[in-house]
Amino acid sequence: MWPPFALPNWGLRVALVEETHLSGVCLNWGYIPTKSLLRNAEVISLLGRGKEFGFSLEGFRADYGAAVDRSRKVSARLVKGVGALMRKNKVTVIEMLPRVLPLEDAEVGAVVERAFKRRRIKLLTAIRLEALEMTDHGVQVRIFGKKGEQRVEAERVLIAVGVRPNSEGLEAVGVQTEREYVLVDEQMRTNIPGVYTIGDLTGKMALAHVASAQGIVAVESIAGRETARLDYAMMPRCTYCQPQVASFGLTEDQAVRHGQEIRVGRFPFLANGKALGLGEREGFVKIIADAHSGEILGAHLVGPEVTELLPELILARSKGLAPNEIAHGVHAHPTVSEALMEAVHDVFGQALHL
């Protein structure tokens, strides 16, 4: 079937039901407006490094209200809705697990942790949230860790501990669920004929691009067309912080625990000309490959705009390309994507610029 993701008119009729605004979480108050705010944060961070780039600013003031207004305009332009966002100032990060980004490769988490500390972001790991108490000046957060009970004062508190499915009422009509998530097969079919489920309700991966891929699978199944099986272990994961984090597949630790013999290729952005020109030298590209077959088992990137670099590696993985086959592809110079080429060369100890 070609092209696999074309959406021709198959004579299907769709009824769209939204609880609040069109486009739901992603475009209204999730992915899109938050990326607008992050862009503001990136610009402010760059302006704060004026001495490094040879300029100075007198009387510089960051207007956070304007930043929020801009993010709302971006959302309105896309979905004619308003994003509900808040800002944080002086961003203490409390993590229940032993390190930041606990689901990512340990080396990646270490780079992000160092970057946060340099920006004077206080990181508290292996900490349990006990209680929140409103005060005259904001919120007091009561936490518990190795040092016993502590209290943190904050203007605002953002709790980000996962996604809860909005599955209320489905069991009443017979849809099978488990821990509130709807059980589906590979075609997104539920146990009720004619009822399909995609997105956060499936409990697979609470990511917009995963939901979109599931939607395509569901529609193709409904239309009786051939469809692809989604490999959730290889879905791209992106963390929009500074520096950015992007990954898919197994971490190095996971591959070792699975008993696989691996080769690891790395390339630091410190040796990438474009990254140096951007003043973003922090981070690296890391490739995990099977030592015998060369199969790419995972990739872990931290650095400038690395969320834009994943598609090449995802395509290579889906088409069964080995690292040496990616390495033979000519990458334009100077670009940050050259770090990919260097990292796959390094899987076999043949990096050109290390």
Locate the domains of the chain by residue range.
24-79, 93-154, 171-230, 233-346
Closest CA to 181 of 158, 159, 204: 204
- What confidence score (pLDDT) does residue 82 get? 27
Mutual orientation of helices 31-47 and 64-79 as an angle, nearest 10°? 150
- What confidence score (pLDDT) does residue 240 get? 85
Class of domain 93-154: alpha beta
pLDDT tens string for the chain (354 positions)? 333 444 456 777 776 666 766 666 665 656 566 666 777 777 777 777 777 778 777 777 777 777 677 666 655 554 443 223 223 345 688 888 888 888 899 999 999 999 888 888 888 888 888 999 998 888 999 989 888 898 988 888 888 777 888 888 898 889 999 999 999 999 999 999 999 999 999 999 988 899 999 999 999 999 999 998 999 988 999 988 888 999 999 999 999 999 999 999 999 999 888 888 777 889 999 999 999 988 999 999 999 999 999 999 999 998 999 888 888 889 988 889 999 999 999 998 887 777
Tell me the CATH architecture of domain 233-346: 2-Layer Sandwich (3.30)
158 in helix, strand or coil? Answer: coil
Rounded CA gap, 354 and 350, in Å?
Answer: 9
Six token digits for residue 36: 């607008």
User: pTM (2 decimals)?
Assistant: 0.73
Catalytic residues: 333
Residues 6+ apart with CB under 8 A from 107: 252, 284, 286, 300
- What confidence score (pLDDT) does residue 274 get? 85
**DSSP secondary structure, 288-346, as one string:** EEETTT--EEEEEEEETTGGGTHHHHHHHHHTT--HHHHHTS---SS-TTHHHHHHHHH
Six token digits for residue 349: 């100890």
Rounded CA gap, 35 and 28, in Å?
Answer: 12
Angle value at C-alpha 52, between 51 and 54, nearest 5 degrees: 60
